[in-house]
Each structure stands twice: as structure tokens, then as C-alpha cells.
Amino acid sequence: MSGRFRAAVVGAALALIAGHIVGHGALAAERGPRLRIGHYSTGSGLIGFVIDRMGTPIKLRFDGTAEILALTAEPAPYESMTLKRDDGVSVLRIYETGRVLVFSDKLSGGSADAYHDQEAEPLVVKNATKEQAETEAESLGRRLGRAGAPALKISLDAPRLSADSAAWSGMADAIAVTGTALAEMLTSPIAREIIAAKLQRVVIRDADQVDVRLAGDTLIVEVEAREAITGRPSSARLKSAIGDLL
């Protein structure tokens, strides 16, 4: 596939992600921008999600969760594009024809076609102040304690952020995603026992990179707070990293 043809395929596939082919003239000019965001569902109704391709990266949020995923597009067979999470797992495949295929272990055969069924709002993280982020960290520690990790304390390390910095929204989002990962892991008796035995503290640190590492009994989640969504690991990447570290 030539570079020029591949670029054309990529553009066409992403342009059709909303699942509609818009008419010509005034209708196209009026409706075009809105079609870059939409809600999709599988025919069975088991999976629903919002996809937002207004900017880079492409963003996705599954129904029933507040976590927003940043997706990376890669060329795939049959003139399609695969969209992957930050842990390398494929989430969607979009064909030049406009077909949207969603991948999930909740689906029979692991995948199903998804169809645009309603309008949606842009995917953005909630605004948060420093005080709200710190309160959320304390609250998360209590929730995880009730879930089986009573000694686990959550703290923030962001000395370069001013008290009124908008980047505290990114810190609050990182807290929420870290909480999602740990809460899901604590539903497993084996993981709960390991976490309770080996972890005493979780530090969410504003840094110049995205990383997850262990320092003694402390799990350090490094984020780029000023880079909303792309500046922190997904809950899936966190679960994988924590499992490897422990």
C-alpha cells in the first residue's frame, strides 16, 4: 500500500466513524461536525460506548464507566483501522465502508458490529481543584480499605502545580482511574491478599512521563497532569503493571 493510498484510507475510515454518510450541500455543512462524535451500541445491547474524534487522540468511553480511553490508530487488513488502548489491546476496528467492529470478552466470539444510535457530548475530564483532588485521594483510600486493603493510603505528589492550576483536573482523573484499577483487582481473593500484604501506600506523582513502578511497599503512578487523558495510564494498563510488579 503506497503512502498516499494509506493516508487516504486512514482519512476515509476515520471520517466515517460516526456511521453515517452525510448528504451534499447545506445538510452536509450543517451536520458534518456533529457526526464526529456519537454513541454506538451493539445489536444485542451488551456493549455501548461514546466515541469522540474531534481531536487527537481519538477518545472512547464505554457505558457504565467514567473512564475515558485514549486510542491509537493503526492500519489493519481490508482497508480498515484498528484503535488500541495504551496497553496495546485492540478496542475497535473501523472499515472504509463505515463498519465499526467492537472487541470485548463480553461478546460471543469476542467482537460484534456496533451501530450509531444517538448523539453524544465531547469526552472531557471533569474540572477539579487541588482541594477536590486531595479530598478524592482520601476518599479513595477509605473505599479501598472497605474493599479489602485497609492499610492502603493514597497520596498526591505535585509540587510543581500551583494551587489554582487547571492540571489538578488531570490529577483527579488519575486518582479515579487508579481507584478503578485497584477496586477491580480487589474483587479477586488472591489479588486482594497480595495487595493487602505488599502495599501500604499509593503515590500519584506529577512527572514528565507516564509510568507505574514499585518502591518498597509504595506503588508510584507517574502522570503528566497537564496532559488530560493521555497523561495517565488506563485502568487496564495499571492492572497489568501492578500484577507484574507484585
Phi-psi region for residue 47, left (φ > 0), alpha (ψ -120 to 50) or beta?
A: beta
Separation of alpha carbons 174 and 167, rounded Å: 11
Strands 111-118 and 100-103: antiparallel
What pLDDT does residue 109 have? 87
Cβ-in-10-Å burial (0-12, 13-18, 19+) of 137 comes to buried
- Residues 171-195 have pLDDT tens digits of 999 999 999 999 999 999 999 999 9
Residue 159 in this model has a pLDDT that exceeds 80 = yes
- Residues 1-49 have pLDDT tens digits of 444 434 443 444 444 333 333 333 332 223 333 358 999 999 988 999 9
* Whole-model pTM over 0.85: no
What pLDDT does residue 35 have? 54
* Sign of the four-CA dihedral 158, 160, 162, 166: negative
C-alpha dihedral (58, 62, 65, 67), degrees to nearest 10:
-10
- Residues 126-141 have pLDDT tens digits of 999 999 999 999 999 9
